[in-house]
Structure 1
């Protein structure tokens, strides 16, 4: 049996955000090696690199890496929400669909939070801070401010809870850094990335709860008639393996136990039957 556990949008999101923290840390470790003189340009690296001050160059490059990681994480969030309006998995909330057509990730994220009835909490507030921070860093003349609701939440949340969850993060200092147009620290970027990942996964869980595996299967068949037609022509054993592999790529997971009549569960036999009924 197959269970619908996540949207295809989550696959795209994870492909993008992946190991962003790990990559950022790796870059920063390398730059520390450059700053200290342990790392130098190898002869096989055929580029011109003659900084006036290696230490200053490493410092600016660290800032660039942190800014880039923040921008990448916010863009990953933007991509996830955008994919929720793409077929075959498509949200039925018309007002939400209209909002995610706009370019503003701020409006898209607000629309998603509102549609799922999520309440403001620390991770959501951190994400809003990350969105405005990223906009100010990327757009030269931008002077975006954080909404009072989220700034208040960040300042008033118990500091001990914050530090335990986000490895010593100081949210008040973080807000000051944002207001002073400083680049975020490694700890601040990591906290925003962690929050984006957490909230997106929670959103995705809520979205699939209300989604029928059978209805989704019909949409998949409608959007992939030619590819599925080829699969249905092979022998039964190979056909089943191909179908399973295909539907796993669409957000389903294999399960051994479950009630076939549950809303988010479908059997291979039901998929074949649905194909016969809707592929024409």
Structure 2
């Protein structure tokens, strides 16, 4: 096996562009995967209107970002604009007829926030970045690194906002339902989930709380709230009810 290009310089430039384009694709995929996971039970995205907009976006990550931006106005507009630029650049480099170009609103945010961008992203010049984008040039290493950084902070900001909007009891119901279904290893229409619930909530009243607590802790709940990062706190009354349910009462609660 050998590598004998006619022009090593041209070949190296092509390889470099390929690597940078692939980095863009992976960064966009990371944002998309987070949004898809946030839609699955137990859902972080509980807002039905936002869920419908994301569903309508189908495979368009750009439209999903716009839907999130419209539904959650407290998100950092600079991070959203950077992620929008990331997705648009990826689309135009990967799809000849890409129609999700950078909007004038996002462009204005990037232009007006040039100083903040330079401060947050190690001297990145958003005006130079936009000129490269308009010229359909490949992104520089610095631009790609800044996009990846922005996507990470965007997801962190989004998760903080989503946790602030979550109904804890709905989340807990979904968590219990999903966890039981996983234990059952079968379709929810069958008796698998019910039998697994009976193994825990069908215990004697004195033993039941211990088994339920063990089940909850095994599925991510803790006695103390996390000191950093987003977290949920469930009402003591809700947990007491959950510990006291028999299998029939649990089934009714899960369907409420």
Give the structure-1-normalised TM-score.
0.68
Q: Secondary structure at the match of 2:4?
A: coil
**Is the Cα contact below 8 Å between 2:242 and 2:250 reproduced in 1?**
no
Structure 1 runs of 4+ aligned residues shifted over 4 Å read: 233-242, 266-271
TM-superposition CA deviations, 1:41-79 (whole Å, max 9, x none): xxxxxxx34231444333322211111111111122122
Shift in Å, 1:121: 2.5
The alignment's C-alpha RMSD in Å is: 3.2
| 1:97 counterpart residue number | 51
Shift in alpha-carbon separation, 1:146–1:256, aligned structure 2, 3 A: closer
Higher relative contact order (CA 8 A, sep 6+): 1
After superposition, residues 194-209 of structure 1 pair within 5 angstroms as 194-209=149-164
Q: Secondary structure at the match of 1:169?
A: coil
| 2:112 counterpart residue number | 156
Q: Does 2:243 match 1:272?
A: yes
Shift in Å, 1:81: 1.9
Q: Does 2:209 match 1:255?
A: no
After superposition, residues 139-218 of structure 1 pair within 5 angstroms as 139-142=95-98, 144-159=100-115, 161-218=116-173
Q: Which of the two has greater helix per residue?
A: 2
| 1:8 counterpart residue number | none
Unaligned runs of 5+ residues in structure 1 are 1-47
Q: Secondary structure at the match of 1:224?
A: helix
Shift in alpha-carbon separation, 1:130–1:256, aligned structure 2, 3 A: closer
Shift in Å, 1:158: 4.3
Return the match for 2:83 from 100, 104, 127: 127
* Cα separation, 2, equivalents of 1:189 and 1:275: 54
Shift in Å, 1:109: 0.8
Give the structure-2-normalised TM-score.
0.74
| 1:108 counterpart residue number | 64
* Cα separation, 2, equivalents of 1:237 and 1:135: 52
